[in-house]
A and B are shown apart, each in its own frame.
Chain A
Amino acid sequence: MLVLFTDTDTDFTPELAKQYDCHLISMPYSVDGKTIYPYEDFDVFEGKKFYNMLRSGVLPTTSAISESRYTEYFEPFFANGDDILYVHFSRAMSMTFGNMDAAVAKLLEKYPERKFYTIDTKGITITSFIIIDEIGQMYKAGKSVEEMISWAEKEVDHFSTYFYANDLKFFKRSGRVSGITAAMGTLIGVRPIIHINKEGKMVSIGKERGKKNALNRLLQYTIDKGEDIKAHKVVIAHSDADEDVAELKALLRAQYGDDLNIQVVIANPTSGSHCGPDCVGIAFHSSGRE
């Protein structure tokens, strides 16, 4: 049998994962030297509390998971004679996949009959979310792994994400966005707009003054780049910015009508450790990423 895996960096929660019979790999973050594994060390992610902690000045770090943890996740299924499809967050964003490769290589030596497939969503949080959400439906519908992989080869580039950040200190520290230059220090009142490109990397593509303009810019990207937008979900992620999300939803409803299928998620804490509080992003089906 084929077993489906994803990870918590995709904003998938255990309830969502359960809907698709999907297994979750927990991607950790650390606060004050204590490493926390989402949904293993807690049951429910309290977003408000977490992002308030970041507002108060706490800067969490994130780390790769060890080879042995990957082995613990995967081995029981290989031992049981199952194959694995792991739909994961962007390989280009983390060193963790080196450990995964090492674990899988050893496991496949031990279980030479078994197969390990991956789909790189080339994104994180909602970029990955919107893709795993569609793959989960295919999986539930009994599609073959080949069908899912060939779908992904075509479609991954057609899920675009645009978001704005509020406080650059988180991004600057993690060094995970290119184009955030020294000339973009404390951008008070100005928000950089970030896109996740075809390579699965975050790039800064401009800035907007004031929240209203930033939200309108997200809407404008949706209008300019959107393709078959209503045939798919539109997913909004935020790091504790309920009011801004409500505004963005209203803008989208005004543009597309009430039948637009909008889902809102709160950005997982591990990704949130890199973007900080008050970010808002949108993922949708597009004519292609930049």
Chain B
Amino acid sequence: MDRLIDGALFENMVKGGAENLYVNKSIVNDLNVFPIPDGDTGDNMFMTIDSGASAPPDGQMSLGGVAARIAHGMLLGARGNSGVILSRIFAGIAAGLADLQDADIKTFGKALQRGSAEAYSAVSVPVEGTILTVFRDAVSYAGERLGDDSTLDSYFMDLISELRNSLQRTPELLDVLKEAGVVDSGGAGLVYIVEGMKNVIDGAEIGGVQTESAGGPKHVNIATFTEDSVLEFGYCTEFLLRLQKSKVDLEKFDIDAFTDLIKSMGDSVVSFRDGSIVKVHVHTMFPGQVLNECQKYGEFLTLKIENMMLQHNETMIENRFEFTVEKPKKKYGVTVVASGQGLKDTFVSLGADVVVDGGQSMNPSSGDFIRAFGEINADTILVFPNNGNVIMAAQQAADMYDKADVRVIPTHTVGEGYSALSMLDTEGKDPDQVAGEAKMYADGVFTGFVSRAGRTTVMDGVSIVDGDYIGFSDDIVYSDSPDKCEAALTLCERLNAADFDVILLLCGADATEEESQRLCSALNSRYGDTEIIMIDGGQPLHDFIIVLE
């Protein structure tokens, strides 16, 4: 007869699971995808299982007793969405093993099923393609294959094989995973845990891994949430609430109604009750409101509130580890050349994948372009050089690069690049058509520049005084004035700005806020029928770039 699982073995299995997750937790952390920012899944899951594995002994040696102690420890330590769900899985397992001295594999398998059901019931809106799905698939697959000659070993082999298969399927169920080219992080964490448990069954020693809870202050980059940031994802709010007899009738307390209340204030809700303790995990815009409401029922044991905009600050690095799935290749990728933070940001928000630093005063090399192309996984890469002196280097790089079809759109100014990119529509079009349209949009644009003159001379019939500001377009000088706004206004007049639909004003690093505003309102009063848009481009050299579209 096959080995039975008793309290001691189960405890060691959980410890083994925790250790294996610890070793691999950075892999799990890296699977976090925007936009479901919820801290580092690997850390959260480890802290959760570790607080179960290291729960102080309470004299109970039976399987049921040990499982209950571990589940309670995990309840107290549960963090993050996946962590909370993990703690529910173990709570369900403990319920399935209650009162048992030990269990055979069939009984144990049933307890795992109960764990899956409990996890689903704790989540307000279960999302498929997550740890929930992965665990359910594996438990039901391994359960179906349970027969008379099944052993602990064969059961766990089945469990792990389906955990892995189901994990690989998660991107098919959840679009955010597919887009990010990863599998679900919580599911991956679970795979490591169960593998660690299996190692113990196979005789692995535990305690060989020095684990320490990453409980210290997390590194957050507060610069990622600025004065202008919009709180899109709210706060990840987690707490343990001890229901108070003075506030609520413990008998009549209805966890479902309580969960509905939480749901009305946020999403990603996971909440459940264990005796007089209620665990809540919610993403909310108004944590204060949640806390106020909940305090009507009890007092907080622990509290954690994190701005989720800060949690996913680390740049996604293209890691090729075991659990990444092939990132779907885009049809079109975009590289642009620009300088000035505002301009670069504008291009990124328009959909540029990579912005190569450069422009008038600093022309990027072919090597710079090839590096940029390498960062893009696309069939066709469109390149906007945005400067006459850069087009050749871009074309040369395009000819050398063989991993994608690279098309250089010969834009001579950032204005042309901006215009072409903002009007670009690639849906259902072939590269020739897209490149042709991009060129057409660029050709319809006039770009004027205002810069400080470096010497006194006469050009194109305009007397230029050293230190004045000149307005020019296409290497023809149209205006000169000691005042940069005047130079810009005369330039607009000479370029027949009134005939265009949009005047885009890109303010350079050397233009002050006052000057920019002054020019913008002057343009508004002169060209009432034209839409005037001002962007703080921050570009060097050109105080103003005026784009006429």
Distance in angstroms between the alpha carbons of A57 and B427 in the assembled complex: 31
Within 8 A of A (CB), among B213-240: 230, 232
Contacts of A190 in B (CB 8 A): 422-423
On chain A, the residues within 8 Å of B264 by CB distance are 63
- For A189, list chain B residues within 8 Å (CB): 422, 501-502, 504, 531, 533, 549
The contact string, 1 if C-beta is below 8 Å from chain A, for chain B 263-300, is: 01100000000000000000001100100000000000
Quick one: closest B residue to A181, CB to CB? B351
A255 contacts partner chain B, Cβ-Cβ < 8 Å: no
Instruction: Name B424's closest neighbour in chain A (CB-CB).
Output: A183
Residues 46-62 of chain A: 1 if any B CB is under 8 Å from the residue's CB, otherwise 0? 00000000000101010
Is B104 an interface position by the 8 A CB rule? no
Q: Are B346 and A183 in contact, with the CB atoms below 8 A?
A: no
Determine the chain B residues whose CB is within 8 A of the CB of A186 once the complex forms.
346, 349-350
In the complex, whether B256 has a CB less than 8 A from a CB of chain A is: no
Instruction: Say yes or no for B535: interface residue by CB 8 A criterion.
Output: yes
The answer to whether the Cβ of A148 comes within 8 Å of any Cβ in the partner chain is no
Contact A209 B350 (CB under 8 A): no
- CB-defined contacts of B500 to chain A, threshold 8 Å: 210
Contact status A185-B427, CB under 8 Å: no
Does B425 interact with chain A (Cβ within 8 Å)? yes
- Flag if A213 contacts B351 (CB, 8 Å): no
Q: How far is the CB of B424 from chain A (nearest CB, A)?
A: 7
Interface residues on B, range: 20 to 34
- Judged by a CB distance under 8 angstroms, whether B334 is at the interface is yes
The smallest C-beta distance from B217 to any residue of chain A, in angstroms, reads 29
Chain B, Cβ-Cβ closest to A30: B285
Q: Contact partner of B533 among A179, A182, A188, CB < 8 A? A: A188
Separation of A190 and B533 alpha carbons in the complex (Å): 11
* Cβ contact within 8 Å between B232 and A209: no
Bound complex: CA A173 to CA B422 (Å):
20
For A206, the chain B residues whose CB sits under 8 A away are: 425
Contacts of B421 in A (CB 8 A): 183
Cross-chain contact B286 with A213 (CB below 8 angstroms): no
Chain B residue contacts of A230, Cβ below 8 A: none
Q: Are B351 and A185 in contact (CB under 8 A)?
A: yes
Quick check: B501 and A183 within 8 Å, CB to CB? no
Specify the chain A residue showing the minimal Cβ separation from B350. A185
Q: Could you give, for residues 163-193 of chain A, a 1 whenever the CB lies within 8 Å of some chain B CB and a 0 otherwise?
A: 0000001000100000101111111111000
Is B211's CB within 8 Å of the partner chain A?
A: no
Least distance between A106 CB and chain B CB atoms (Å):
17
Min C-beta distance of A244 to chain B, whole Å: 11
Contacts of B349 in A (CB 8 A): 185-186
Cα A141 to Cα B265 in complex, Å, equals: 44
Interface pair A211/B531, CB less than 8 Å apart: yes
Is there an interface contact between B501 and A210, defined as CB atoms closer than 8 Å? yes
The answer to whether the Cβ of A217 comes within 8 Å of any Cβ in the partner chain is no
**How distant is the Cα of A268 from the Cα of B549 in the complex, in angstroms?**
33
* Cα-based distance from A190 to B502 in the complex (angstroms): 9
* Given known A33-B289, A189-B533, A209-B549, contact A184–B502 (CB-CB < 8 A): no
Which 7 A-B pairs rank lowest in CB-CB distance, beginning with the nearest? A210-B501, A183-B351, A185-B349, A189-B502, A33-B286, A186-B349, A190-B422
22 A-B interface contacts by CB (under 8 A): A33-B286, A33-B289, A57-B230, A59-B230, A179-B427, A181-B351, A183-B332, A183-B350, A184-B351, A185-B351, A187-B350, A188-B535, A189-B501, A189-B549, A190-B422, A209-B501, A209-B502, A210-B502, A210-B531, A211-B501, A212-B501, A212-B529
